[in-house]
Structures are given as structure tokens and as C-alpha cells.
Amino acid sequence: MQTSARNQFSGVVAQATAGAVNDEIIIAINGGQQIVATVTHDSAARLGLKTGAKVVALVKATSVIVMVDADATKVSARNFVQGKVTNLTKGAVNADVTITGDNGMAVAAIITNASVDRL
């Protein structure tokens, strides 16, 4: 499999909850972290997303939101990694940021240089 998604997390489906249109898939990955994915019911069936299935969750770096002084209890996003910036490379317009969680999970984010300066 080749993909441009920088964040690739291998795991196992811990729970799959079916809905009429979308299914909620909870993926257990290394370090005790979980990722919650919402996929269409048809896609979940086609991919065989059932408890115990091995999966890879892909998250584009441009889809990651970076916050400072965040309180996980006051964020509506279910996927939340708290950590420290371990790499920051500024380009002409955007910056490549790597955040490594306390459990060792690294997440890549692409944010604007203006956002880096503001944060």
C-alpha cells in the first residue's frame, strides 16, 4: 500500500458500532492509545471492520489540529494526543510539526507559519 498520508497507525478494531448510515470504529493502537474512526456502513462491511480485525488508520498531516495548553476534557474531538513538539521545520508558507505523545506516539501536522508564530 502506498499513500501520501504521513500518519499511519496500525492497530486492531477494539469495537465496531453499526449505525444506519455510518459506523463508529474504535481502533486500539500501540501504547494504549485509541483512534475513533467514522466510516460509512457500506465501507465497514466491505472492509470487514469487526472486532479483532487488523487495520491501519490513515490521517493526513493537513487534517491535524494543533493546540497549546489544551485540556482533553474540554475538547470535542475524540482523537486527542497530548505531547511535546519534537520537530518543527518551517517552509515558505507552512510548517511541518511533529508532536510526540507521552506514550511515544508521533503525529505529524502541517500548519501555517502564522499559526506556529501565534501558538
In sequence order, the 6+-apart residues with CB closer than 8 A to the CB of 88 are: 95, 96, 97, 98, 116
Each domain of the chain, given as residue ranges in start order, spans 7-59, 61-118
In the 8-state DSSP scheme, what is residue 93? S
CATH of 61-118, one of 1.10.357, 3.30.70, 3.40.50, 2.40.50: 2.40.50
pLDDT digit string (tens) for 49-97?
999 999 999 999 999 999 999 887 888 888 988 999 999 999 999 999 9
pTM tops 0.75, yes or no: yes
CATH 3.20.20.70 fits 7-59, yes or no: no
Percent of the chain whose pLDDT exceeds 90 = 77
How many Å apart are CA 113 and CA 87, to the nearest integer? Answer: 14
Within a 10 A sphere around the Cβ of 35, how many other Cβ atoms?
20
How many Å apart are CA 86 and CA 76, to the nearest integer? Answer: 25
